[in-house]
Amino acid sequence: MNIPLSRDFSDIPDRPGIYAVRHRYQGLLYIGKTKSLRSRFKGGHKAFLWAWLDQYKSEDVRIAVQTIPYSKNPELLLELEAIILRATEPPYNVKIPMES
């Protein structure tokens, strides 16, 4: 599900999942995981979400979400996020050290 950037996230499911913030020209900006997709964005997303997203035009940014059944395997969100981060290296994520 791709959702346009706005400050109203009623279209985002209130379920666990993985999300990505993508810019039309700059590509993937951020990847994250959460137990509640809607709450993550409505809650200000750690207060930094708007600080860096406000520099972009809202029509150029999309939020992609994929819900994941959390109760069956809570570690799955962490594993999926780590795999995606290593493969894509979005500029706004903290780098995950590669295992030796």
Whole-prediction pTM: 0.75
Please state the domain extents for the chain.
2-88
Closest CA to 5 of 92, 66, 90, 64: 64
Instruction: Name the CATH code of domain 2-88 (choices 3.40.640.10, 3.40.1440.10, 3.40.50.1820, 3.30.70.980).
Output: 3.40.1440.10
Average pLDDT over residues 64-78: 78
- What pLDDT is attached to residue 78? 85
Between CA 76 and CA 96 the distance in angstroms is 17
Q: Is it the case that residue 3 has pLDDT exceeding 60?
A: yes
Between CA 24 and CA 39 the distance in angstroms is 25
Q: Which residues have a Cβ under 8 Å from the Cβ of 86 and sit 6 or more positions away?
A: 96, 98
- Model confidence band, residue 83 (pLDDT cutoffs 50, 70, 90): very high
- What pLDDT is attached to residue 12? 83
- What pLDDT is attached to residue 100? 44
User: Residue 92 — φ and ψ, nearest 5°?
Assistant: -100, 5
| End-to-end Cα separation, the chain, in angstroms | 35
- Model confidence band, residue 87 (pLDDT cutoffs 50, 70, 90): very high
